Structure 1
Amino acid sequence: MSLSRAEIELIVEEIKPTLERATIQRVLEVDERTFVLRYRQPGQNLLLLISTQPQMARLHFVTERTRQPEQPTAFTMLLRKWLDGAFIEAIKQRQGDRIVELTVRSVDPQWIPAEDFQGPAPRVVAYLVIELTGAVANVFLLDAKRIVRGHQPGEASGTRTLRVGAPYEAPALPPAGTKADFVRWQLDSLDPSTFQRSACLSHAFEHLGCEGRQDELTRHLRSQLRQRQRALKKRVANIERDLQKVGNAEQFRRWGELLQAAHGQIKRGAASASVPDYYQEGMPTVEVPLDPARSLPDNIARYFHQYRRYKDATSRVEERLLASMEELELTNAAVARLEASDELTALEALYDELVEKRLISKRGAVPRARAKTAAQRLPYREFLAHSGATILVGRGARHNDALTTNLARGRDIWLHARDWAGAHVVLRIDRDQQPKSEDLLDAATLAAYFSRGKNDTLVDVTYTQAKHVRKPKGFGPGMVTIAGGSTLGISIEPERLGRLLETEIS
């Protein structure tokens, strides 16, 4: 769903008026295929997102900056060296194609000022070529002679042999009459002066990204859970066979005792012995297998040894069977939850829970990149109460622990829906202040809403100061104990809830 040539043209039209006397302040990395140019025009700061993600190549303004990765890519560092502090002189789109070129005048990256230097730094022309060409999209940094100084990681130049230090070669123009001129989302009817086109694209690609991540996470969970189901069913079947063997322990003891009673009546080297079974009425004759290489005392000792070994193993095998069957039940329940989950947040919560319980392994090669990556994702959602106080809502069991034990201050108010699984909620309280009644109702409403009891007519919400909440050693994720505490009966008011949800800080 990369942008078409016509859609790019509409976005370039929106960008152009913002470039007069514009200065790039910083290059912000989102991931290795996406970055943001933060630049300032007199009177406003702007964030221009440039992404070459396969099938999501795009260019548009965004309203929020993202957190930076701890270690930016080498290309991002190169862009910062060339573009930070650069003046933007022009933007143009290659006619008939999805290639946009920014012309900038940057401080000469090779320049080293003398100690007594005064005056403006020397500047050189540079070009940022943004190829939004779908699967082979890329960004190239060119010097004044249009020599490639760097490009994004990966082989994304199509059939060209572009390399650093070589002249830039533009790709061939697409054939006439291709799908280059379609316009979606009615972009051409939106006002570029108020950035409506960028706002529309931000929403559309965020939705597309969520759908893609949801499909990807669903496939990963389904694969892991089905694999787990197969392994557990096989394990249960094997343990049941072991249990059946263990059940034969009494038979070994009986054979040993029958052979003892027949001592002196069995010849050495016999493969079996016919002995009366005095355990049964009428003492019928039974055949007891023997090891011909062993003496009779050795055969008797072997049967008693097998009896003791299997008898001692009985409790262990039964414990293994119960544990495996319980794990299989949990896995079956997780499969049912997966099939019933139709939202990304629910899938992410299920994923976190299953990893915590070690029912599935963490994703490796499967990217979990969201607008905020897993490493960057905060353990809470943030809302504003009636007075403007901050309310933090845990995202899941593991996140509840982080919120309650690491982030909540002793004077903050901690809330949770009583007798229901749900989010831990923290109402921030300033020093020497008391919680306002409306703020407390707001926080309790969120605690009720983000719990499994949200559809009940009345939800009891327990609250206390966070300093009274403890997590004993060995307690599972999200489980805590509280000292004292009070209870509010909450009937969720749609107007209050709507106001609170609208205040969420992304």
Structure 2
Amino acid sequence: MAWRFTGKNVIINTAFLMNVKSKGVITMSFDGFFTHAIVHELNTTLKTGRVARISQPYPAELIITIRAQRHNYSLLISANPTYPRIQITTVPFTNPAVPTNFTMTLRKYLDGAVLEKIEQVGNDRIIRLIFNTRDELGDSQKLILVSEIMARHSNISLVNDKTGKIIDTIKHVGSDQNRVRLLLPGATFVMPPKQDKANPYLPNQLYSDLVREFSAPRDLAKQLQGHYEGLGHDTSLDLANRLLASDHLPTTYQQFIHRFDNPDPVIIDGKKKQFMAFPPVGADENAIQHFSTLSEMLDSYYAQKAQQDRSKELAGQVIKVIKNELKKDRRKVKKLNKQLEDASEADKYRIRGEILTTYLGKLKHGMKEITLPNFYNDNKPLKIDLYPELSPSRNAQKYFTKYDKLKSSVAYVNKQLGLTNAEIKYFENIQNQIDLASPSDIQEIRLELQQEGYIKNKHKGKRRKVRVSKPEQFHTSDGTLVLVGKNNLQNDRLSFKTANKNEIWLHVKDIPGSHVVIRDTHPSDQTILEAAQLAAYFSKGRDSDNVPVDYLPVKRLHKPNGAKPGFVTFRGQKTLYVTPHKLNN
């Protein structure tokens, strides 16, 4: 282990810094310091702006459009337990058809309100947005929107500043969930319990005492974190390294904490992709991506993570319906296979009927069983169960009836088995689509399941006309456009409405996946290969190394009458084996 020395102190573990370069270990999460930085940025941009629109596109996320500096800004306030945050966003969103009660409450109280300022509570992850508006009598009133960024305890509350009463919250928390704080309309708003820690922005010399006592970066970082408010693990580690390398502690400390007022937002793309307000000491510049604002950086960082989470959140009912249908279908397949297994033994009932008919004279009324020679098996004795309440001839007929029933059921059972297995593939395909779906794709998947009768349409008689979104676009290395359907409604439109009949269509072989179309009638072999890799990526086989992909001209596709969305048949295809890979958009 290598250590560097400056004067009297042991300073930096250089082995640890090498880990920073190779693994992206040091990060600055959304702690109190990052909250300080984002509040400063939001105040600079949004202060004195006016509320133009309020939306709640996702269950735990709020978008407030604020008109400031002759520009509309979309302020995202998220109480999502996985990705809670506050930022300006440029990511497009789709509003639900019916606004939530919380949305309606905010529109009633905040529409047209002026954002006086945004402030942080201490150095904690609690933010107060102070609005000036007018009540129903036209008198001026202050309302405070409190954003608590606290993982699963994250929440957004609208509070009357004069009375201290909660008007509404995005998540209602009753006494059965939290005995300390009620977060319900009408309750008095109480701040979360304050930790007994120092505010790092207030005058103090704690850090100096700790540096003298602890010389290892991780030990010092742990102590700093335990003594200062809002100091996350990653931030404390970076501060510890800087303090241990310093010849003048007060200057280093002040420079560090005030750096959050002038951040250099970055994403470090190491073993794990991490964001921070500015590069940590010792970070590899080659692994760093810089951004002009914290909000821009957060949009980039959460682009995929948050979208997937939002999709799963919106898909809650859809996933539940699919799981239930798959459970029923798989149970039905077991039952049908058992019926086929029984039908395969139908001949044993015919043989028993024929033997009973041959030896009818030996049967007596009231017998429960009889043993007779089996002329189909060298006259070996065969015990045959009888119904004592039936006559000898009716006993024989009973076996013939069971034989006829089993034989006639085979065709029906095979047909039902085919339909049920097809439905299982259909739902497995939708499960695959959800894994890669955007929120807008989820809405179309829900619509599809409503049209197929799997989800009840709450608005009876009001058949909403939903415009199917466009498939995702990609380009191969030679610039050829490739379109990918992200759900079955897109797949059908792409394959039978959008694509030219001589263009090339691709789909993974025998497993769920997207319809892919090369917008070229004579693509190069390289383009076909890259499109096949894309088809494999947008399939259930995306984690495999060798995936078969069929390709053929669009004109060879056929959709049977009554087939479910996304289902096609074809022939004359060629097959490539590829490793899944996503192209650039």
TM-score normalised by L of structure 2:
0.57
CA RMSD of aligned residues (A): 5.7
**What is the DSSP-based 3-state SS (H/G/I as helix, E as strand, rest coil) of the residue aligned with 1:103?**
strand
Aligned to 2:136: 110
Structure 1 residues 273 and 147: CA distance shift in structure 2, 3 A = closer
Paired amino acid for 1:39: I
Aligned to 2:264: none
Residue 323 of structure 1, CA deviation: 6.0
- Are the counterparts in 1 of residues 491 and 515 from structure 2 also a CA contact under 8 Å? yes
Residue 308, structure 1, aligned to residue 401, structure 2: yes
Aligned to 2:504: 417
* Per-residue deviation, residues 172-191 of structure 1 (Å, max 9, x unmatched): 21343458312462313499
Paired amino acid for 1:202: D
- Are the counterparts in 1 of residues 374 and 380 from structure 2 also a CA contact under 8 Å? yes
- Are the counterparts in 1 of residues 364 and 392 from structure 2 also a CA contact under 8 Å? no
- Are the counterparts in 1 of residues 326 and 427 from structure 2 also a CA contact under 8 Å? no
- Are the counterparts in 2 of residues 126 and 144 from structure 1 also a CA contact under 8 Å? yes
Residue 86 of structure 1, CA deviation: 1.7
Match of residue 126, structure 1, among 114, 129, 143: 143
Residue 142 of structure 1, CA deviation: 2.2
Paired amino acid for 2:127: V
Aligned to 1:117: none
Aligned to 1:204: 301
Output aligned runs, 1:322-341, within 5 Å.
324=417
Residue 69 of structure 1, CA deviation: 0.7
- Are the counterparts in 1 of residues 506 and 550 from structure 2 also a CA contact under 8 Å? no
**What is the DSSP-based 3-state SS (H/G/I as helix, E as strand, rest coil) of the residue aligned with 1:168?**
coil
- Are the counterparts in 2 of residues 416 and 448 from structure 1 also a CA contact under 8 Å? no
Partner Cα distance (2:568, 2:418) in 1: 28
Partner Cα distance (2:185, 2:312) in 1: 37
Paired amino acid for 2:394: A
Output aligned runs, 1:24-423, within 5 Å.
24-106=51-133, 108-111=134-137, 123-145=140-162, 146-155=164-173, 158=178, 159-176=180-197, 177-178=225-226, 180-182=230-232, 183=235, 185-189=275-279, 195-209=292-306, 231=331, 234-235=334-335, 238-239=338-339, 242-243=342-343, 245-260=345-360, 262=361, 269=366, 290-294=386-390, 298-317=391-410, 320=413, 324=417, 344-345=435-436, 378=469, 380-382=471-473, 393-403=484-494, 408=497, 413=500, 416-418=503-505, 420=507, 423=515
Partner Cα distance (2:348, 2:412) in 1: 18
* Per-residue deviation, residues 426-463 of structure 1 (Å, max 9, x unmatched): 97xxxxxxx9x99999x99997665459999x997646
Residue 99 of structure 1, CA deviation: 1.0
Paired amino acid for 2:491: N
Partner Cα distance (2:151, 2:468) in 1: 28
Q: Which moved further from structure 2: 243-252 or 9-18?
A: 243-252
Aligned to 1:473: 561
Residue 256 of structure 1, CA deviation: 2.8
**What is the DSSP-based 3-state SS (H/G/I as helix, E as strand, rest coil) of the residue aligned with 1:400?**
helix
Partner Cα distance (1:453, 1:4) in 2: 36
* Per-residue deviation, residues 219-269 of structure 1 (Å, max 9, x unmatched): 989987996797367436633552355232222322332234x3xx66655
Partner Cα distance (2:57, 2:275) in 1: 25
Structure 1 residues 362 and 56: CA distance shift in structure 2, 3 A = farther
- Are the counterparts in 1 of residues 374 and 382 from structure 2 also a CA contact under 8 Å? yes
Residue 72 of structure 1, CA deviation: 1.3
Paired amino acid for 1:473: N
* Per-residue deviation, residues 457-501 of structure 1 (Å, max 9, x unmatched): x9976468xxx998552345445699xxxxxxxxxxxxxx96xx3
Structure 1 residues 300 and 133: CA distance shift in structure 2, 3 A = same
Count of paired positions: 436
**What is the DSSP-based 3-state SS (H/G/I as helix, E as strand, rest coil) of the residue aligned with 1:180?**
coil
* Per-residue deviation, residues 374-408 of structure 1 (Å, max 9, x unmatched): x99836225699xx999864224443114456xx5
Aligned to 2:268: none
Structure 1 residues 21 and 413: CA distance shift in structure 2, 3 A = farther
- Are the counterparts in 1 of residues 173 and 184 from structure 2 also a CA contact under 8 Å? no
TM-score normalised by L of structure 1:
0.65
Aligned to 2:250: none
**What is the DSSP-based 3-state SS (H/G/I as helix, E as strand, rest coil) of the residue aligned with 1:185?**
strand
Partner Cα distance (1:255, 1:222) in 2: 50
Structure 1: state its 5+ residue gaps. 113-121, 365-374, 428-434, 483-496
Structure 2: state its 5+ residue gaps. 1-27, 198-224, 236-273, 281-287, 457-465, 509-513, 539-545, 571-581
**What is the DSSP-based 3-state SS (H/G/I as helix, E as strand, rest coil) of the residue aligned with 2:398?**
helix
Structure 1 residues 109 and 413: CA distance shift in structure 2, 3 A = farther
Residue 93 of structure 1, CA deviation: 0.3
Residue 285 of structure 1, CA deviation: 7.5
Partner Cα distance (2:155, 2:537) in 1: 49
- Are the counterparts in 2 of residues 417 and 459 from structure 1 also a CA contact under 8 Å? no
- Are the counterparts in 1 of residues 36 and 120 from structure 2 also a CA contact under 8 Å? yes
Structure 1 residues 17 and 285: CA distance shift in structure 2, 3 A = closer
Partner Cα distance (1:342, 1:391) in 2: 18
Partner Cα distance (1:43, 1:27) in 2: 18
Paired amino acid for 2:472: R
Partner Cα distance (2:500, 2:70) in 1: 41
Partner Cα distance (2:60, 2:310) in 1: 16
Residue 163 of structure 1, CA deviation: 3.8
Partner Cα distance (2:376, 2:60) in 1: 79
Partner Cα distance (2:562, 2:30) in 1: 52
- Are the counterparts in 1 of residues 468 and 490 from structure 2 also a CA contact under 8 Å? no
Paired amino acid for 1:300: S
Partner Cα distance (1:78, 1:32) in 2: 15
Partner Cα distance (2:568, 2:419) in 1: 24
